[in-house]
Amino acid sequence: MSIRKKPSAARQTTDSLTIVLISDTHELHREVEVPPGDILIHAGDFTMNSKSAEKLLDFNDWLGELPHAHRVVIPGNHDFIVEAASRRALITNATLLINQSVEIMGLKFWGSPATPLLGEAFGVVSDTARAKVYSLIPADTDILVTHGPPYGILDKAPGSDRHEGCHQLLAAVQTVKPMLHVFGHVHGAYGTYSTDETLFVNAALPGRGFGMSNRPHVFRLPRR
């Protein structure tokens, strides 16, 4: 599947990037068959509530074994291990974004682990505080990476009436209009949803539990 970059016209396949999207591997990353590509994005929960440097180092080693030229990672609500800034330096084989931006191969990324969850890693319970976090998203962001979904978009498991997405994140996405918004967190809500401005992707690899039952998403993006 390809995505047209706004406002540029579509370009030839030879002038495109292959982007691979995953999330919520929960220390089972070595069970994932990761397709090749230019850029890999992991949208958080690479551990299972672990504070073990050993688990983090294994995840980093695995990232380094992948063929992608660039890797972008954000933490999730299970990734207590990188709440301490000193542990973040252990991720050497990817760009770790925590309410930060980076430009890679002409694409502008912004990533955040913030979720509304009390007592979880990177939890931001206050609506006002989350709105402040998302106000940091640059207006020219091409690819937004968050752990949690925006409210009402791929944010509830099949058969559930509970929306787990964030209203403040939805408002920010509707303002910034990135061409791609990648997230995970809600197991069972894996899939895609498109508007005229944005392709939304829930990249959570588990189904309703924690086994790796879904496949990574793969898209082509035009180079700038």
Let me know if residue 114 belongs to a domain. yes
Distance CA 77, CA 119 (A): 9
Report how many domains make up the chain. 1
pLDDT score recorded for residue 222: 78
Tens digit of each residue's pLDDT (9 = 90 or more) over 37-60: 999 999 999 999 888 899 999 999
Is the separation of the CB atoms in 218 and 37 below 8 Å? yes
- b (16+ CB within 10 A) / e for 75-97: bbbbbbbbeeeeeeeebebbbbb
Let me know if residue 75 belongs to a domain. yes
Examine the pLDDT at 6 and tell me if it is beyond 80: no
Give the mean pLDDT of the chain. Answer: 92
Let me know if residue 136 belongs to a domain. yes
Let me know if residue 100 belongs to a domain. yes
Q: State the average pLDDT over residues 65-83.
A: 97
Let me know if residue 1 belongs to a domain. no
Examine the pLDDT at 1 and tell me if it is beyond 80: no
Q: Domain containing 128 — which CATH number?
A: 3.60.21.10
Examine the pLDDT at 102 and tell me if it is beyond 60: yes
Let me know if residue 5 belongs to a domain. no
CA dist 26 → 44, 45, 78 (Å): 9, 6, 8
Let me know if residue 3 belongs to a domain. no
* pTM to 2 decimal places: 0.92
Tens digit of each residue's pLDDT (9 = 90 or more) over 109-120: 999 999 999 999
Let me know if residue 69 belongs to a domain. yes
Tens digit of each residue's pLDDT (9 = 90 or more) over 185-202: 999 999 999 999 999 999
Question: Which amino acid is it at 200?
Answer: F
What domain range includes position 197? 13-222
